Amino acid sequence: MSRKEVILELKNVDKRFGGVHALNNVSFSVKRGEVHAIVGENGAGKSTLMKILAGNYQPDSGKILLEGKEINFSNPHQAHEAGINIIYQEFYCFPALDVVSNVFAGKEISHSLFLNDKKMRALACDVFNRMGVNIDLNANVGNLSIADQQIIEIAKALVYEGKIVIMDEPNSALTDKETKALFDLIVRLKEQGITILYISHRMEEVFQICDRITVLRDGGYIGTWDKNEVDVPFAISKMIGRKLDEAFPKIVDLKVNDNPILEVRNLNAAGKLADINFSVRPGEVLGFAGLEGCGIRELFHVLFGIDACDSGEVLLNGQLQHIHFSTGAINSGIGLIPANRRDHGLIMRWSIKENISLVILKKLLNFLGLTNQSRINTLSSEYIKKLSISTSSADKAVLDLSGGNQQKVVISKWLATQPKVLLLDDPTRGIDVGAKSEIYLLIQELAKNGLAILFNSSEIDEVLGLSHRVMVMRQGRIIKDFQHEEADKHTVLRYVSGDILGTQQRESVKQNC
Amino acid sequence: MGQLFKLKKKVRDEADSVETGLNNPGRKFHFDEVGVLAAVLVMVLLLSFGSPYFFSVSNLLKVGRQVSFYGLLTIGLSFVIGSGQIDISVGRIITLVTFVMAWLMDKGMNPWLAFCLGIMLGALCGLLNGGLSLVFNVHPMIITLGTTNLFWGLAVGLSNAKPIVIWQESSFLELGPGKIAGLPVPFFIFIVVAIIGHILLKKSVFGRHVLAVGANKQAAVFAGINEKRIRLSVMVMSGVVAAIAAGVLLSFFQTFDPNVGSGMEMDAIGAAVIGGADLNGGYASVLGAFLGAFLIGILRNGLVLMGVGAYWNNFVTGAVILIAVAVSTVLKTQRKS
């Protein structure tokens, strides 16, 4: 095991996009049958490197050797033929087609003119069995959850006998249980001698699953370490080139006598939410913990007016609100930073300033009732400065920004409405470590200025680290309420996973009996 | 040195301001508009050499009038396309509305009143298009394909496919052939509607919301925009503008002809696309569409003057539309990369 042969070797790989030096003279090698992590901040060059290996891009100079032979892919098909398969982070599926068709999209098996449905079904069945997931092969992919779609994306890469599988944040949409299944699968693939290149922002899991770790920074190669030689803080310091300050800022004490700004009473939505009661005070960060589909997102959408509820009351500043459309929520001072930045949060091809000004355009008019360009400019430059969005100009399309900066644009857009309550749904998903800690500081800063924040994250540490109180949701109910001090990760996770049932749930179980 | 740097920066900023069209719906000028203007000027130059009759005030005013009819449609369509929809029924809304107005006038109704009722009918047609599309959640292409036949069939059925000539004396019927400020009235109305449309699309909250819905429907909803209302409104607008065009046509020709409006939707869509409208939604330009309508109009006119027959005229016009779209697409992709 110790002296494995080299399967993939990169020599002085260089790639530029216009003025951006995406990969600067990168050289390293990958051994057969290892799980090799590639880590780095956004813009470090990980994705460019993977896209070169997968044949989407061609390097400007340098050599890539696969099993000692130089390879030069001009398209993804050639990479696939050579045995390199990739699972993309931003994946694309065909929502109108069924699961089998999606797994084999573009690589259909046929005899002469006709598709060989039988064989494709059998292979698909086999791959899902190997992955240990249960999925309806006839389901339309558009009707499946994001997590299931991600599983299909993984199946696409595994259905063929490959030598190397590249995984670009494969579990960003998976629940803990599904992630665990994925890791089991990775172990099995490794036993079969398949090499895995694993890209992730989550350092804990990198250390959990990978053998060796390669760090990239600003397009340059920093080094490769055996996982046993190093620890998480070391890897992070290599990634960002400096020591990261304490991960979460210290929580500010609340003023004792403030009345709640938002109160929710007996909120119900059939099949989604049951009996939701809570309140939040100005300056309070209220964290939500729970699994995908536990009702947090649904709760946020009901409060914001995107989805309807069946019964219940929402009080803002003690006044009853009738929020049945998002305009109502916005006018009452509720803002939502949605989990899906690209589809829900932003108009990707519009510029920063058009995005920031979209919601409050009505307040940026001139005396003729038309939009006032200079007020739009002032507003956007104010927020670019305030949130330190790094861009050359407010006219740049948000498409061209990094994930962290895109998220700052979404936040700016909502801060511009001067909300009283801000719902943050997984604001740090898919953004790099540096930008994450900036968002943490921002959340704290906003809370200090009296904003009430409801905060959900797929990373439990963030919820525990940032919130004054943590509420655990499960199956549409709030099952437990923790103060910051009493919320230790182990206990919270036991509630989240259903290992301990909360009070309300226990009652409902009793009723069912 | 400082001066030179400032100058360079200014030049660069101006270049940017032309280039980043898609990103900034609020900008004054976009690349496409400048491109179409250049194409119009080149075409005028070429046709002036091609025919001695082309470049005269009276001929150009005539072109202006001819362009107005489908030109009006293209302004409504800019909003529809910008919102990510399409309306191919506009030509037949013209047929139906013209018939109803002519019939009412024939029965002795005051033409101005008939015109007003006609506009309401146009709005109703648009409401039907947009409403059906929303209720059944079917793409407006399919809905308007259906209503095209519906409106046309209604007009032809009710009129027995016979023309109606208006004999009434009325200021409304003197309008069409008349002039305002030296411009033929239809052309004048076209310009006024275009200016209103341009301001509405580029400078109003409504226009921005239309483009937001076209660019990303879900993000628009999450930004508190009532996307259904927006989608419905633009279809109604398109119907109203088509009805205005119908009124202008009727007052000019003084006759309802069952073939009126036929094929106009294609010139109108062509003009909008030449002007830079993105059929995927999210971007459209009234100024560009206005110039696009002119490009098609002067081409048709110039070819006639050069003695090119009607059949080949269509061929050449079609080819020019394709070339214009191809050039603009190629330039757009090049700028992106």
Q: With respect to residue B13, please indicate whether it lies within any of the assigned structural domains.
A: no
Provide the pLDDT for residue A115. 84
- Within a domain: residue A171? yes
Alpha carbons A177 and A171: distance in angstroms, whole number: 11
Tell me which residue has tokens 């100024």. B287
DSSP assignment string, A328-377: HHHHHTEEEE-S-IIIII--TTSBHHHHHHSTTGGGSB-TTSSB-HHHHH
**Residue A347: its chain B contacts at CB < 8 A?**
212, 215-216, 219-220, 282
User: How confident is the model at residue A431, as a pLDDT?
Assistant: 80
Contact A351 B23 (CB under 8 A): yes
A240, A274, A303 — which closes off a domain? A240
User: Do A220 and A297 have their domain in common?
Assistant: no
Do B242 and B122 form a contact (C-beta atoms < 8 A)? Answer: yes
The mean pLDDT value of chain B amounts to: 87
A206 and A323, same structural domain?
no
Sorted by sequence, the CB contacts under 8 Å of residue A112 that are 6+ apart come out as none
Structure tokens at A259: 């009345």
What pLDDT score was predicted for residue B256? Answer: 94
Tell me if chain A has a CB within 8 Å of the CB of B280: no
Cα(B214)–Cα(B223) distance, integer angstroms:
14
Supply A290's token pair: 């729970």
Q: What is the CATH number of the domain that holds B217?
A: 1.10.3470
Is residue A411 a part of any domain in this protein?
no
Angle at A39 between CA A38 and CA A42, to 5 degrees: 125
Locus of tokens 């099993």: A67
The CA distance from B166 to B174, in Å, is: 12
Q: How confident is the model at residue B10 (pLDDT cuts 50, 70, 90)?
A: very low
Q: Please tell me whether residues A442 and A486 are part of one structural domain.
A: yes
Q: Which residues in chain B touch residue A359, judged by CB atoms under 8 angstroms apart? A: 223-224
Give the number of domains in chain B.
Answer: 1
Per the CB < 8 A criterion, the answer to whether A363 and A417 are in contact is no
Residues of chain A found within 8 Å of residue B218, distances taken between Cβ atoms: 343-344
Q: Is residue A368 part of a domain?
A: no
Is position A299 within any domain?
yes
Mean pLDDT score, B131-154: 96
A110 & A216 share domain = yes
Indicate the residue of B199, B219, B226 with minimum beta-carbon distance to A347.
Answer: B219
Q: Confirm or reject contact between A348 and chain B (CB < 8 A).
A: yes
- Contact between A351 and B20 using a beta-carbon 8 Å cutoff: yes
Q: Quick one: A220 and A336 in the same domain? A: no
* Residue range of the domain that includes A306: 262-348+420-512
> CA-CA distances (angstroms) from residue A291 to A174, A412, A423?
10, 28, 18
Neighbouring-strand partners of residue B295 = none
**In this model, does residue B100 exceed pLDDT 50?**
yes
Check whether residue A269 and residue A231 sit in a common domain: no
Query: Within 13 Å and on the Cβ side, how many CA atoms surround A211?
Result: 16
Per-residue pLDDT tens listing for chain A (513 residues): 444 688 999 999 998 876 667 888 899 999 998 999 998 876 678 888 888 998 888 999 999 999 889 988 888 888 888 889 888 776 677 888 889 888 888 778 888 778 888 888 998 888 888 777 788 888 888 888 777 887 888 888 888 778 899 988 887 667 777 778 788 888 888 888 889 999 887 777 888 889 999 998 888 899 999 988 888 878 877 877 755 455 677 777 776 667 899 999 999 998 889 999 999 999 999 999 988 778 999 999 999 988 888 889 899 988 888 777 777 888 889 999 998 888 899 999 899 999 999 999 988 888 888 999 999 999 999 999 999 888 888 998 898 888 889 999 999 999 999 999 999 999 988 787 778 888 998 999 999 888 999 999 877 888 988 999 999 998 899 998 998 888 887 788 888 877 777 665 555 544 444
Q: Is residue B20 part of a domain?
A: no
Question: Do A347 and B22 lie within an 8 Å CB cutoff?
Answer: no
Residue at B117 is within a domain: yes
What pLDDT, on the 0 to 100 scale, is given for residue B36?
85
Q: Domain boundary residue among A178, A205, A240?
A: A240
pLDDT at A246: 53
Cβ burial B208-234 (10 Å sphere, 16+ → b, else e): bbbbbbbbbbbbbbbbbbbbeebbbbb
Separation in Å, CA of B282 to nearest CA in chain A = 9
- Give the position of tokens 């998220």: A407
Residue of chain B nearest A329, judged by CA positions? B224
CA separation for the pair A359, A323 (Å, rounded): 17
Asked if residue A397 is part of any domain, the answer here is no
- Same domain as A272, residue A223: no
Question: How crowded is residue A31: how many other Cβ atoms within 10 Å of its Cβ?
Answer: 15
pTM (global) more than 0.90:
no
Give the C-alpha distances (Å, rounded to integers) separating A487 from A193, A473, B288: 42, 14, 60
> What SS3 class is residue A62?
strand
> What are the b/e assignments for A454-486, b being 16+ CB within 10 Å?
bbbbbebebbbbbbbbbbbbbbbbbbbbbeeee
Q: Are B248 and B189 in contact (CB under 8 A)?
A: yes
Residue B18 resides in a domain: no
Q: Which residues in chain A are contacts of B204 at CB distance < 8 A?
A: 369-371
Chain B contact present for A27, CB below 8 A: no
Report pLDDT for A184: 85
| Three-class SS of A441-489 | HHHHHHHHCCCEEEEECCCHHHHHHHCCEEEEEECCEEEEEEECCCCCH
**Domain endpoint, select from A210, A240, A270:** A240
Q: Does B223 lie at the interface with A, CB-CB under 8 angstroms?
A: yes
DSSP for residue A98: B
Q: Determine, for residues B26 and A327 on separate chains, whether the beta-carbon distance falls below 8 Å.
A: no
**What is the DSSP code (8-state) at residue A143?**
G
Q: Minimal Cα–Cα distance from A225 to chain B, Å?
A: 36
pLDDT for position B21: 46
CATH number for the domain spanning A121: value is 3.40.50.300
Residue span of the structural domain in which B97 resides: 32-48+57-332
Helix (H, G, I), strand (E, B), or coil: what is residue B306?
coil
Asked if A197 and A63 sit in the same domain, the reply is yes
Residues of A in contact with B209 (CB under 8 A): 361
The fraction of chain B above a pLDDT of 70, given in percent, is 89
* Cβ-contact A268, A302 below 8 angstroms: no
Q: Which 3 state secondary structure label does DSSP give A136?
A: coil
B17, part of any domain:
no
A298 and A192, same structural domain?
no
Residue A407 in any domain: the answer is no
Structural domains of chain A, count: 2
User: Is A268 found in the same domain as A208?
Assistant: no
Instruction: Quote the pLDDT of residue B11.
Output: 42
**Torsion over CA of A301, A303, A308 and A313, rounded to 10 degrees?**
160
Co-location of A56 and A16 in the same domain = yes
Place of tokens 């496919």: B161
Q: Give the list of residues 6+ apart from residue A50 with CB closer than 8 angstroms, or none.
A: A38, A86, A166, A168, A197, A199
**Residues of chain A positioned with their CB less than 8 A from the CB of B220:** 347
In a domain, A401, yes or no: no
Which pair of tokens denotes residue A77? Answer: 């098909």
**pLDDT tens digit sequence for B253-302:** 999 999 999 889 999 999 999 888 888 888 899 999 999 999 999 998 99
Residues A328, A466 share a domain: yes
- Which burial class, exposed, middle or buried, applies to A449 when counting CB atoms under 10 A from its CB (0-12, 13-18, 19+)? exposed
Q: What is the pLDDT of residues B178-200, one digit of tens each?
A: 888 889 999 999 999 999 999 99
CB contact under 8 Å between A344 and B218, yes or no, is yes
In a domain, A341, yes or no: yes
Residue in chain A closest to B26 (alpha carbons) equals A373
Q: Which of A62-71, A356-365, B26-35, B44-53 has the lowest mean pLDDT?
A: B26-35
Longest CA span, chain A: 77
Say yes or no for a CB contact (<8 Å) between B219 and A365. Answer: no
Task: Report whether pLDDT(B4) > 50.
Answer: no
The per-residue b/e assignment along B276-315, b for 16 or more CB within 10 angstroms, e otherwise, is bbbeebbbbbbbbbbbbbbbbbbbbbbbeeeebeeeebee
